[in-house]
């Protein structure tokens, strides 16, 4: 099964660089590499489902409707219990081309259940990245304090300075 790190890699695969949205999964070979690193096989159908899952999860994490896309992806997918040496083990049964995408959705569901409200988009409106807030107070607002946090704080400071000094 995919972990939190793989989920964040998928969610953050559409960053904004120099003011333009990038898609790190646009190149088939890059997405196939990611898929193989996470137990997939690559290929057209798997790539299509992974991109669908990523886009739907980005929408869900941003509180945008995406249920239809997720319903299509999860149709016919089942988690089946099997007795094992250490008790009951859950196995995912899914068409091979959708298995990795279904695991991505399950990783998102797991994070949402274990850490409710902690997976969210960066508060910088110019950023497309997501953060998983692991702070005790659950107050993280930016994907990175170095980039988005500092930029927004600097902008607010400049705006306050302009307000105080008034028009020239």
Along the 168 residues of the chain, how does pLDDT read in single tens digits?
Answer: 899 999 999 999 999 988 899 999 999 999 999 999 999 999 999 999 999 999 999 999 887 878 888 999 999 999 999 998 999 999 999 999 999 999 999 999 999 999 999 999 998 888 899 999 999 999 888 888 777 866 666 666 566 777 776 665
pLDDT score, position 146: 76
For the record, the structure tokens of 160 come out as 């306050």
Q: What pLDDT sits at residue 149?
A: 65
Q: pTM for the whole thing?
A: 0.84
Other C-beta atoms closer than 10 Å to the C-beta of 111 total 18
Question: Looking at residue 159, what is its pLDDT?
Answer: 66
Whether 108 contacts 7, CB under 8 Å: yes
- Are the C-beta atoms of residues 118 and 134 closer than 8 Å to each other? yes
Give residue limits of the domains in the chain. 4-118
SS3 164: helix
The per-residue pLDDT for 126 is 85
The predicted structure's pLDDT at residue 116:
95
Position 155 scores a pLDDT of: 65
- The secondary structure of 64-75 as a DSSP string is ---HHHHHHHHT
Give pLDDT, residue 142: 83
pLDDT of residue 82: 94
pLDDT on residue 125: 85
First to last CA, the chain: 60
Closest of 143, 160, 61 to residue 105, by C-alpha = 61
* 166 torsion bin: left (phi>0), alpha (psi -120 to 50), beta (else): left
Q: Count CA atoms closer than 13 A to 25's CA, side-chain side.
A: 23
């Amino acid at each position: 099964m995919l972990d939190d790190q793989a989920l964040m890699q998928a969610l953050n695969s559409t960053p904004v660089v120099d003011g333009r949205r990038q898609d790190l999964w646009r190149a088939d070979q890059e997405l196939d590499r990611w898929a193989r690193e996470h137990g997939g096989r690559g290929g057209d159908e798997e790539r299509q489902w992974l991109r669908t899952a990523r886009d739907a999860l980005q929408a869900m994490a941003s509180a945008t409707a995406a249920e239809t896309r997720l319903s299509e992806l999860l149709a016919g997918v089942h988690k089946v219990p099997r007795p094992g040496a250490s008790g009951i083990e859950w196995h995912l049964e899914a068409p091979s081309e959708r298995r990795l995408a279904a695991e991505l959705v399950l990783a998102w569901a797991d994070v949402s259940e274990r850490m409710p409200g902690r997976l969210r988009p960066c508060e910088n409106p110019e950023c497309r990245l997501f953060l998983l807030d692991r702070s005790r107070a659950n107050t993280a607002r930016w994907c990175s304090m170095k980039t988005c946090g500092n930029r927004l704080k600097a902008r607010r400071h400049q705006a306050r300075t302009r307000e105080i000094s008034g028009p020239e």
